[in-house]
Every structure is written in structure tokens, then in C-alpha cells.
Amino acid sequence: MIAEPKRALVASPAPAARAAEERLRASYDFVEPHEADMIIALGGDGFMLQTLHAMLEARRIVPVFGMNLGTVGFLMNEWRLERLEQRLAAAKPFKVLPLRMTVDTVDGEQFSIPAINEVSLLRETRQTAKLEVHVDSRVVLPELVCDGVLVATPAGSTAYNLSAHGPILPLGSGLMALTPISPFRPRRWRGAILPDATVVRFTVLDPVKRPVSAVGDQREVRDVAAVEVKIDRTTPLILLFDPEHTLDDRIAAEQFIA
């Protein structure tokens, strides 16, 4: 006889998520996250990212089934109290490979930070950023003058990347998006689509006069000198979706929204 997977329940601080948590705990049994084979997350996309980052920090990765009690809920399933066991048994898994950014600061510090959606470089002051862009150790843009630039995964391509007019990438495409944010020079450059084996490196030109921060999802490092971004294949994440509303379906549908 196959044992039932042990489930943990986590919820965002939002009142709707807390109320849903109470209803679920009254109806089903849950364990602590460190004991679980699966996590159910209640909230929005931001809380889903927090949950995934917490697993990366704990170095204990289990599948996550999210239910939307936030705003957009792109990474989440519909909230329903009923038939939870049946939904989990039928859920379709999707593997998401996070990015890993390695940041060198002006002061000589180094940080290694995961990002599930995107890594963004952003100007810190009224001065535009000036960046040298390397792709696999080759300089492709000697000087990019812009408000910023980002590297996005397929799962994150419909988030900040899409708002910056970057491309939507199908899940499983083996690609990542390199997208400028308000580019000034070269004015006609609109970004690139790169194989996910690519290593992208940004060197900040004149980091004292034109300071730049680097953001991996929700974690920021200020006054950076250089940033390297690549896919981290050592820590794949698993998201679970109802079969009728899967992540690849949502990504495809975004391409036809007017």
C-alpha cells in the first residue's frame, strides 16, 4: 500500500489567505514544511516566489501546489476548498530552472542569489546606467545606455520582462530573454533570445557616477560592479497545476491577449 504524501500548508499574511488557511486546516491534516513531501501555498505570485526561495535557502526541494488568493496568480491554481486530495493526485508537474546571479560590488563583496522569474539591473539615481554586455565571454554590446536590463526565464517571461516589451518564452523552450529597460543607446536594440546554456555578464561602466543595483526576484544588491547570470541546473523546482489550467497553457494564452 502506497502511503499518502505528507502535506504542509503555508499562507501569505493577507486576510483572505489566512481565512482560507483556517478553513483548510479544519478540513485536512497537515505537517510542518520540513517534514512534508509537498507544500500547498495560499497567496499570490509574490508569495509563491517567497515559498520557492525559502526551499532553495533550506536546500530541501518538494513540489508546490499554489492556490490564488492574491491578485494575478499566474503561478497559482484556482482557490477551492473541496476535493483537495483529488486535485493533488491529478496535478500536472512542471519543472522550473531558476537563474543564479553572482554579484560583485564596488566595495569588493560578492553575493550568489537565485532568481525564479528574472534578474534585473536597474539605475539607482537620475543618471542612466552604462553597461557592457557579455554573452559567453564575448562582448556583444560595448556600451548599453539604459534605465536597466533584465534576464528572464520562461516562467518569468510574462512578468517584468513582458512589461519591458520582452518576448514571451514557452515553458520547456530551453531559452531565456535578455531585455533592455528603456534603452537610450543603442536606441534600436530591443533585446535578444538566448539558449539557456548561455552565461550573461554585465560590467557596470562608471559605477560611482552611475550606480546600479542588481535584483534577483525580490532580493536587491546595491552599488554593483559586475553581475553574472546563468541557469542553475542543480536545484530544479517543481510546480503543480490542475490539468485544465497548466502553466504552459497560461504562457501560450498570454501571447493572444490584446
Is 158 annotated to bind a ligand? Reply is yes
- Catalytic residue selected from 37, 45, 217, 248: 45
Pairwise CA distance, residues 231 & 175, whole Å: 10
46 has binding-site annotation: yes
Annotated catalytic residue 45: yes
Is 45 known to sit in a ligand binding site?
yes
Rounded-to-integer distance, Cα 145 and Cα 36, Å:
47
- Using omega within 30 degrees of 0 as the cis cutoff, is the peptide bond preceding 33 cis? no
* Residue 192 assigned as binding residue: no
**DSSP strand pairing (64-68 vs 38-43):** parallel
117 is in an annotated binding site: yes
Query: Is position 249 annotated in a ligand binding site?
Result: no
Residue 68 among known ligand-binding residues: no
Closest listed residue to residue 214, CA positions, set 110, 142, 138, 137: 110
Residue 237 assigned as binding residue: no
Query: Binding residue per annotation — 155?
Result: yes
Q: Which long-range contacts (CB under 8 A, 24 or more apart) does 247-256 make?
A: 247/75, 247/94, 247/155, 247/171, 248/94, 248/170, 248/171, 248/172, 250/74, 250/158, 251/154, 251/155, 251/157, 251/158, 251/168, 251/169, 251/170, 251/171, 252/170, 254/158, 254/162, 254/168, 255/168
- DSSP label at 7? E
Residue 147, annotated ligand binder? yes
**Closest C-alpha among 195, 203, 15 to residue 102:** 203
Annotated catalytic residues are 45
Q: Which residues are annotated as a binding site for NAD(+)?
A: 45-46, 117-118, 147, 155, 158-163
Known binding site: residues?
A: 45-46, 117-118, 147, 155, 158-163
